[in-house]
A = this chain, B = another copy of it.
Amino acid sequence: MFYTDYKLQYPVNVETPNPVFARALQQAIGGIEGEIRVAMQYFFQGMGIRGPSKYKEMLLNTAAEELGHIEMLCVAVAKNLEGAPLQIQEEIAANPVAGSVLNGMNFRQILSAGLAALPVDADGVPFNMSHVYASGNIAGDMYANVTAEATGRTLATRLYHMTNDPGMKDMLSYLIARDTMHQNQWLAVLVDLDTAEPQLPIPNTFPMEQENQDFSYVYLGFTADGAEPPRGRWSEGQSIDGRGTFSIRPMEPMGPVPAMGPANPDTYPQEAQLDKGGETEPGVSDSLQGGSQ
């Protein structure tokens, strides 16, 4: 269950409302790096993760925190929209500044919301729940969470740079700090998951001998002219998971040009795609029998 008290986690003040910054703030609400995403991602991970219950609880607890961040940002948007222009200046030549402000605004904050925040990004694209990553594998989910907080903190620092308003800078200094904590928090979970096996590769429950281990630690090159691909830590030394040694090699095709043969007439292709008495190469169904191909 969730509860609320209508109060803000942290004060949200705006000295000089700026309706163009209200557009930028939308990215932190409804952008893929934003707060709806992390609130819903931690929520669904918390509901879906199996294993020791402390992880579920830790996730739901932080989901509650992120809901509060959406609240803060909604208030920030509303305050930046105070006094925003609501009319197009026909005589823009006489007042270029007001015109310029309206041009830079998100029109739906006026037209759809009546001067309030929307669950959309800075370009007005609504948040889509496909961005809620909750795989059932806790380590995979933790990397998804570090990603969210790393791109989230990068976004917040860019917003911090974009504004000079002391209230907004103060609010962002709090959100940036929380992103710092959360990056550390999710990585700490990977340490907390203490098991006999290393955590990598994810999932660590799939038997390594079932993967084709000739390709598990080699950086493959796909350079057109056979030139060596770029070297780095990824091409030499022990692998990060401690289970192998990096190497490097240019890749050659191991499979043939796939035979797609004539089309099935019942799918209504063009006539030229049909089998016409040996004119075309052997079809897929033939090669299906030849295991080695």
Decide if A131 touches B130 in the complex (CB within 8 Å): yes
**Whole-angstrom distance between the Cβ of A283 and the nearest chain B Cβ:** 8
Q: Which one of B74, B103, B232 lies within 8 Å of A103 (CB-CB)? A: B103
Q: Smallest CB-CB separation from A146: which chain B residue?
A: B143
Are A192 and B232 within 8 A (Cβ)?
Answer: yes
> In the assembled complex, how far is the CB of residue A61 from the closest CB belonging to chain B, in whole angstroms?
5
A4 to chain B, nearest CB (A): 5
Known: A147-B140, A180-B216. A202 touches B270 (CB 8 A): yes
Within 8 A of B (CB), among A94-118: 96-97, 99-104, 106-108, 110-118
Return chain B residues, CB-CB under 8 Å to A36. Answer: 40, 129
* Complex contacts, A88 vs chain B, CB 8 Å: 18, 20-21, 24, 162-164
Mask: chain A, 249-293; 1 = CB below 8 Å from B; 0 = not:
001011111111111111111111110000111011101101111
Partner of A288, one of B14, B55, B71, B118: B14
- Report how many residues on chain A are interfacial, defined by Cβ distance under 8 Å: 221
Do A255 and B72 have beta carbons less than 8 Å apart? Answer: yes
C-alpha gap A85/B171 in the complex (Å): 23
Q: Which chain B residues lie closer than 8 Å to A128 at the CB level?
A: 126-130
A140 and B129 within 8 A (CB): no
Q: Are B113 and A48 in contact (CB under 8 A)?
A: yes
Query: B122 near A108 (CB under 8 angstroms)?
Result: yes
